């Protein structure tokens, strides 16, 4: 009998690289890359230290920031007014009282006032914040405008064709976005207002002025609104003969007068007065980011140049691609 020849590994479906066979030449050898990094460790360490030093000097150039914070709570007169309105308006008043129990409209109003362009424009003009807003801005680019166009000797701006000083109304949005941060705690029904700048005195001055002007602004707004409502209701009262309807309107007038009286004493409560704290996270963050960024960049460049100009590729196909990359690198 003739013996059948033994099947080849390909016929059995076996991989020709299985067992002790070596890996394909065009695969990346991690040990080779590790050797390249160790070989050029001095270059990597030097540039990593430079990144660390660069991050430190960048942090020193930026400087620390000072955050002044205060804790506010809305003074609610809505509950008392709801009871009056409920008795005056019957079922409709009961619905209004039920809506007042939901959420905290006082805090929402405080946030609306603080984000109002008109409020912030009045704040800038009342306390003369425009110049210092440029000088102590958290972002360095804004302070460069101050250094370039403000005459410190004569205390005035060098306005001309290249620079025109914006109005307080135009800078109101910048004041809100660059300096202020508001956080609402719905459970405790409080509002934390903070001002962040590169000067502690400026942060405290802006926050103190903001709280003072906010109290005045709310009182003025609420009292004007109440006065207009009372004037309108009184004008309607003279034209109505129905005693029940007159009684309801008189109740609404009383609620408006009560609203004006309550807010005239205290528009909101200041739980924690303005307090300033120094923050310098950049002193730790910038050096670490600079060192890590430089380490990764130099390591990638070392591996890249090893693969392109070194002996990182021995496969003919890989060499062909390397030659093509070299040619393209020299072209513009």
Q: Are 259 and 229 in contact (CB under 8 A)?
A: no
pLDDT at 181: 92
In 3-state terms, what secondary structure has residue 263?
A: helix
Query: pLDDT of 245-254, one tens digit each?
Result: 888 888 888 8
Does the predicted TM-score (pTM) go above 0.85?
no
Phi, psi of 26 (to 5 degrees): -90, 0
> Using an 8 Å Cβ cutoff, are 122 and 214 in contact?
no
Domain boundaries along the sequence of the chain: 30-61+283-329, 64-279
Q: Could you report the per-residue pLDDT of 193-242, keeping only the tens digit for each?
A: 999 888 889 999 999 999 999 999 988 888 888 889 888 888 888 888 88
Model confidence over 27-73: pLDDT tens digits? 666 777 788 888 888 989 999 999 999 988 888 777 788 899 999 99
User: What percent of the chain is predicted at pLDDT more than 70?
Assistant: 74
Q: Check pLDDT > 80 for residue 164.
A: yes
Mean pLDDT of 162-174: 89
Angstrom CA distances, 203 to 65, 145, 168, 263, stand at 9, 20, 18, 27
What's the mean pLDDT when you consider all of the chain? Answer: 77
Contact 314, 25 (CB under 8 A): yes
Q: Which two tokens stand for residue 100?
A: 């007042």
Left if phi > 0, otherwise alpha if psi is -120 to 50, otherwise beta: which for 150? Answer: beta
CATH topology of domain 64-279: Bacterial polysaccharide co-polymerase-like (3.30.1890)
What value does the CA radius of gyration of the chain take, rounded to a whole number of Å?
A: 36
């Amino acid at each position: 009998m003739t013996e059948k020849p033994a099947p080849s590994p390909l016929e059995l479906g076996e991989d020709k690289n299985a067992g002790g066979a070596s890996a394909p030449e065009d695969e990346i050898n991690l040990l080779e890359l590790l050797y390249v990094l160790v070989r050029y460790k001095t270059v990597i360490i030097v540039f990593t230290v430079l990144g660390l030093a660069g991050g430190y000097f960048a942090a020193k150039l930026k400087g620390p920031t000072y955050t002044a914070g205060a804790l506010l709570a809305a003074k609610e007169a809505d509950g008392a007014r709801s009871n009056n309105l409920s008795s005056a308006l019957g079922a409709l008043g009961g619905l209004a009282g039920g809506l007042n129990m939901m959420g905290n409209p006082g805090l929402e109003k405080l946030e609306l006032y603080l984000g109002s362009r008109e409020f912030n424009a009045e704040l800038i003009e009342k306390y003369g914040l425009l110049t210092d807003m440029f000088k102590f801005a958290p972002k360095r680019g804004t302070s460069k405008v101050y250094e370039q166009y403000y005459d410190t000797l004569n205390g005035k701006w060098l306005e001309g064709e290249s620079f025109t000083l914006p109005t307080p109304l135009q800078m109101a949005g910048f004041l809100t976005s660059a300096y202020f941060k508001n956080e609402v705690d719905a459970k405790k029904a409080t509002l934390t207002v903070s001002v962040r700048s590169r000067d502690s005195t400026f942060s405290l001055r802006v926050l103190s002025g903001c709280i003072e002007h906010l109290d005045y602004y709310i009182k003025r707004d609420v009292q004007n609104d109440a006065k207009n409502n009372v004037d309108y209701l009184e004008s309607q009262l003279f034209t109505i003969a129905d005693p029940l309807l007159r009684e309801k309107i008189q109740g609404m007038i009383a609620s408006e007068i009560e609203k004006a009286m309550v807010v005239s004493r205290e528009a909101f409560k200041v739980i924690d007065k303005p307090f300033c704290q120094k923050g310098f996270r950049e002193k730790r963050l910038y050096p670490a980011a600079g060192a890590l960024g430089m380490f990764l960049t130099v390591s990638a460049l070392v591996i890249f140049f090893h693969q392109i100009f070194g002996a990182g590729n021995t496969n003919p196909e890989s060499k062909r691609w390397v030659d093509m990359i070299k040619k393209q690198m020299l072209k513009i």
